[in-house]
Homo-oligomer: A and B are copies of this chain.
Amino acid sequence: MTGPDLGIWFVGAFGSVASTTALGLAALRKGLAGSTGLVSEHPLVRQLPLPPFSRFVIGGHDVRRSSLESTVRELHRRSGVFDAELIDRCRDQLAEWTENVVPGVAQRSGPAVERLADWTQEQGNQMPPREAAERIAADIQAFRERWGLRHVILVNLASTEPPLELTEVHSDLVRFEAELDRPGSPAVPASLIYALAAIRSGCSYVNFTPSPGINVPVLTELAAKQGTLYAGQDGKTGETLLKTVLAPMFQRRNLRVLSWVGHNIFGNRDGLVLDDPTHKASKVKTKDAVLNQILGYTPQTVVSIEFVESLDDWKTAWDHVHFEGFLGTKMVLQFTWQGCDSLLAAPLVIDLVRLTAYEWESGGRGLQRHLACFFKRPLGVDTHDFFEQWRLLEEYVQERVTAQEKTARPQTAPSA
């Protein structure tokens, strides 16, 4: 068996999701973890010849000096997840991958991230974006060469940035290029710089966060020119997943949602960042559009997210859905969700890189619309209905399976 030849490049490599993904991938490679939680191991998706776990190697950027092992140990200690023994058995692998992580950039990543950042590139936040992107591309190139990789997928797992106001700079390539030379430009936050670096260095790109990343007109345009394969944005792991599953039920049954209140509490570093009002705005915005699209009207919605330290990684949500049935009768559905955020996200990250790598090797380019069911804000797809999104994945798999079968027996046709 040959060594790994596909690279995963995490922006935010020492964060909870990335570190848990690393632990999970290590465990899967060693046969120490089962397939529960992996969509790529669902009977539907298993029909595709996805790359095995052993083909992947992990590297990335972070702005906090830490290690993959240290993050998963902290999760174990504070949130009570993972077996201590599992970490022990994967620690060598984690150490090896930690060597691939280098200091990143935190340009306009918001006050909460800036407070945490202790490991950025020199002159970090005041570098011209073009130079920052070039350094990032160089880091990725070094990773590619060291490991002899055929392809690298950059996955954005960094903390949520404050909202970016889109201006003409973002839709006019000439003006954008000019902006790239402006040191510390507020119009080009880190997520755009990373996306630019990914495009320029031939990486595929997956945005698991609400930050804009590749989703600004100039970058989408560049991605099209360069044939970049990309998907996003904002992983759908918990409360929103439930919304996009339950709202269709109300819609199909013609029950009128009067109000939908969602109150989320959690205490991990992601929560700490979101607790800063500058960052929170982005998160709440992403969550809002879902119900309107599915229901076709606009019930009152309240979405709140609060940092509650004692919960650590256990994201707890209470949703109160007030709806009207026949003859004006008001009824109530409430749910509480107690999910461990990193462990909900990590398998999806593994799914996304496997599906992206498969698509890349199959010659696919551009936006991967069939991955909509993984995202809170699926790029290029109008529907938020989880089951309609799932149909897109089904159709994709069906088409590929059919294509494979044709390829597999081309000789039979002539003989007919």
Contacts and interface: CB of A to CB of B under 8 A. Distances in A.
A347 B326 contact: yes
A235 to B, nearest CB: 12
25 contacts: A20-B326, A36-B326, A36-B328, A37-B253, A37-B324, A37-B325, A41-B254, A80-B330, A82-B329, A242-B333, A245-B245, A246-B246, A252-B386, A254-B347, A258-B310, A259-B310, A300-B309, A310-B322, A316-B320, A325-B344, A326-B344, A331-B344, A332-B336, A333-B337, A387-B387
Contacts of A302: 265, 306, 308
Given A335-B334, A339-B331, A340-B325, A254 B387 contact: no
B36 A255 contact: yes
Chain A interface residue bracket vs B: 35 or more
A36 B252 contact: no
A330 B78 CA distance: 10
A390 interface: yes
Contacts of A81: 327, 329
A274 to B, nearest CB: 13
A326 B37 contact: yes
Given A310-B330, A326-B347, A333-B338, 14 more contacts: A36-B324, A36-B325, A41-B254, A42-B252, A242-B246, A245-B249, A248-B387, A261-B263, A261-B308, A318-B336, A329-B340, A331-B339, A331-B340, A334-B336
Contacts of A328: 33-34, 36, 83
- Majority DSSP secondary structure for residues of A touching B: mixed
Contacts of A347: 254, 325-326
Q: 8 closest Cβ contacts across the A-B interface?
A: A37-B326, A258-B310, A335-B335, A387-B387, A326-B347, A329-B343, A263-B263, A259-B310
A326 to B, nearest CB: 4
A42 B386 contact: no
A155 interface: no
Interface in A292-321: 300, 302, 304, 306, 308-311, 316, 318, 320
Contacts of A332: 336-338
Interface in A235-274: 241-242, 245-246, 248-249, 252-256, 258-259, 261, 263, 265
A27 interface: yes
Given A253-B37, A334-B335, A300 B304 contact: no
Contacts of A86: 327
Interface in A211-247: 241-242, 245-246
Interface in A358-416: 373, 386-387, 390
A38 B326 contact: yes
A50 interface: no
A302 B300 CA distance: 22
A198 interface: no
